[in-house]
Amino acid sequence: MEFSTMLGLLGDGLLLTTQIFFVTLIGSLPLGVVVALCRMSRFRVVSTIAKFYISILRGTPLMLQLMAIMFGPYYLFGLQMGSDWKYWACDIGFILNYAAYFGEIYRSGIQSIPRGQYEAANVLGYSRAQTFMKIVLPQVIKRILPAMGNEIITLVKDTSLAFVLGIAEMFSQAKALAAREVSMLPYAIAALIYWVFCLLIEFVLGKVEKKLDYYHA
């Protein structure tokens, strides 16, 4: 197989990898905020449900969660899902899993803000929503950025788990090419692409961190 053809197939896989990555972030970042707020809720039922959710999603393998979502509707309810269900199952599984991790990171950041800042905002006439959005959240983002960066980089590599659902992302393409060509070259190229992807994320996060330098803990 020509090298250009190999790159083309890996490029097709990279498109799916990138799609899984961005869909997961778009869904899990805001959902993580909801999870964190539920986890800190004064209502015991809400906080208990959030704790259980986080415990299950962080305490079981992501691969197992993907398979449960993929095959659960059929084995539990006898539902025949369409051919596109594997993509929906992949997106749902990744979003739910990463929301649990992001939720705990958000919670640690929110709880690290001194109580005096809430009291000062109250004196200035800020509502609870205004206090959270204008005072607390910008500081929380700066404090949690390193931890969030680690999870986001982990997500790049975790996208390879989509292969269990038959999704031809980049790792699946590399695996198929390596078997066909009896060569490690496809794996080496895929590893290089993953690495460059992570370097780009580190660059972007570094820029964001510099922009938030005016928020000092």
The pLDDT tens digits of the residues spanning 177-195 come to 999 988 999 999 999 999 9
- Give the dihedral sign, CA 81/83/88/94: positive
Cα 124 to Cα 173: distance, rounded to the nearest angstrom: 57
pLDDT, one tens digit per residue, over 41-97 is 999 999 999 999 999 999 999 999 999 999 999 998 888 888 899 999 999 999 999
